[in-house]
Chain A
Amino acid sequence: MKKKFLYSTFIDNDSVFAFVKAILAVFFAFFVVYFILLATGYKPLPVFAALFKGAFGSRRGFGETLLSTTPLLLGGLGFAVAYRCGLFNIGLEGQITMGGIAAAFFGFIIPEINPVIHVSICIIAGIVAGGIWGFIPGYLKAKFGVHEVISVIMLNHIAFKIAAYLVSMQGPMKDKLDDMPASPFISGSAKIIRIMDRTRLHWGIFLAVGVAVLIWLLLFRMRLGYKIRAVGRNPFAAEASGISIKKHIVLTLAISGALGGLAGAVEILGVHYRLFAAFSPGYGFDAIAVALLGMVNPLGIIASAFLFGILRSGSVFMQAMYGVNKDMVSVITAIIVLFMGMSVPIGIMLKNRIKRNSNGTVD
Chain B
Amino acid sequence: MELLIKLFSITVFASTLRIATPVILASLGGCMSERSGVINIGLEGMMLMGAFSAVVGSWFFGAWTGLLLGVLTGGLMGLLHAFMSVTLKANQIISATAINIMAVGLPNILIPVIWENHYGISPTVPVIADINLPLISSIPIIGDIIGHQNPIVYIALLLVPLISFLLFKTKLGLRIRAVGEHPLAADTLGINVYRMRYIAVTISGLLAGLGGAFLSIAYQSQFSSAMTAGRGFIGLAAMIFGRWSPKGALLACLLFGFADAFQASAQSAGVPIPPEIMLSFPYVLTLVALVGLFGKTALSPAANGKPYYKG
Chain A contacts to B: CB under 8 angstroms:
36, 40-41, 88, 90, 140, 143-147, 149-151, 153-158, 161-162, 164-165, 168, 170-171, 282, 285, 288-289, 292, 323-325, 327-331, 333-335, 337-338, 340-342, 344-346, 348-349, 352, 362
A206 to chain B, nearest CB (A): 29
Q: Chain B, 96-123, contact with A by CB distance < 8 Å: what is the 0/1 string?
A: 0111011011101111110000010000
Is B88 an interface residue when CB atoms closer than 8 A count as contact?
A: yes
Chain B contacts to A: CB under 8 angstroms:
41, 84, 88-91, 93-95, 97-99, 101-102, 104-106, 108-113, 119, 229-230, 233-234, 236-237, 240, 274-277, 279-280, 283-284, 286-287, 290-291, 293-294, 298, 307, 309, 311
Task: A150 to B293: give the CA distance in the assembly, Å.
Answer: 14
Whether A344 contacts B98 by the Cβ 8 Å rule is no
Please name all residues of chain B whose beta carbon is closer than 8 Å to the beta carbon of A155 when the two chains form the complex: 283, 287
Whether B105 contacts A170 by the Cβ 8 Å rule is no
Whether A41 contacts B113 by the Cβ 8 Å rule is yes
Pull 28 A–B residue pairs with CB atoms less than 8 Å apart, ordered by A. Answer: A40-B110, A144-B294, A145-B293, A145-B294, A146-B287, A149-B93, A150-B240, A154-B286, A157-B280, A158-B283, A161-B277, A324-B109, A325-B108, A325-B109, A327-B106, A327-B109, A330-B102, A330-B108, A331-B102, A334-B102, A338-B90, A338-B95, A341-B94, A341-B95, A341-B98, A342-B90, A345-B88, A362-B311
Whether A334 contacts B105 by the Cβ 8 Å rule is yes
The 8 closest A-B pairs by CB, nearest first: A330-B105, A341-B94, A165-B276, A334-B102, A327-B108, A161-B280, A345-B89, A337-B98
> What is the count of residue pairs linking A and B with beta-carbon distances less than 8 angstroms?
145
Q: Is the interface of B mostly helix, strand, loop or mixed?
A: helix
Please name all residues of chain A whose beta carbon is closer than 8 Å to the beta carbon of B99 when the two chains form the complex: 334
Whether B98 contacts A338 by the Cβ 8 Å rule is yes
Task: A330 to B104: give the CA distance in the assembly, Å.
Answer: 8
Whether B97 contacts A337 by the Cβ 8 Å rule is yes
Q: Is the interface of A mostly helix, strand, loop or mixed?
A: helix
A334 interface neighbour in B98, B280, B291, Cβ under 8 Å: B98
Please name all residues of chain B whose beta carbon is closer than 8 Å to the beta carbon of A164 when the two chains form the complex: 276
Task: A330 to B97: give the CA distance in the assembly, Å.
Answer: 12
Please name all residues of chain B whose beta carbon is closer than 8 Å to the beta carbon of A323 when the two chains form the complex: 112
B101 interface neighbour in A145, A150, A285, Cβ under 8 Å: A285
